[in-house]
Amino acid sequence: MTTRPRFHLAFPVRDLAEARAFYGQLLGCQEGRSSDEWVDFDFFGHQIVAHLSRSEGGAEGQNRVDGKDIPVRHFGVILEMPEWRVLAAGLKKAGRDFLVEPGVRFEGLPGEQATLFIRDPSGNALEFKAFADETMVFAR
């Protein structure tokens, strides 16, 4: 394979127009193929697919991580630190509510990372993170 592997993730949304506004306009993800029931997005080089599903939702578990309640079911992407800072500033400027405010987790420890959590309009939890030192991604 000449390029790095990319992931594909399909997830439920309650409204495709909301998904297009959130992923396409707010996050800047280019839209790909679509139908009346789903839409593809280029999520930082990966393919995500928002599928219309009015029956999804409900309570989800949380785990305590570095003093914060983290939703068990979430997805996201690891960005370069400058990209992460731009995204965090843009989300703050847009007045988005954060599940976990932008900040540094595991400071001074292996795995130190900048992170933030938000929800899309359908309630899906997303994490965006960055490492000052890429060798720390899987550090123990």
CATH number of 8-52: 3.10.180.10
Query: For every one of its 140 residues, what pLDDT tens digit does the chain have, with 9 covering 90 and above?
Result: 456 889 999 999 999 999 999 999 999 999 999 999 999 999 999 999 999 997 765 557 888 888 888 888 999 999 999 999 999 999 999 999 999 999 999 999 999 999 999 999 999 999 999 999 988 899 88
Each domain of the chain, given as residue ranges in start order, spans: 8-52, 62-136
Report how far residue 68's alpha carbon sits from residue 104's, in angstroms, rounded to the nearest whole number.
Answer: 12
Using an 8 Å Cβ cutoff, are 98 and 91 in contact?
Answer: yes
Q: Are 74 and 85 in contact (CB under 8 A)?
A: no
Please identify which residue in the block is written with the tokens 């890429």. 134
CATH 3.10.180.10 fits 62-136, yes or no: yes
Q: How far is CA 131 from CA 71, 75, 77, in A?
A: 21, 17, 11
CATH fold match for the domains 8-52 and 62-136: yes
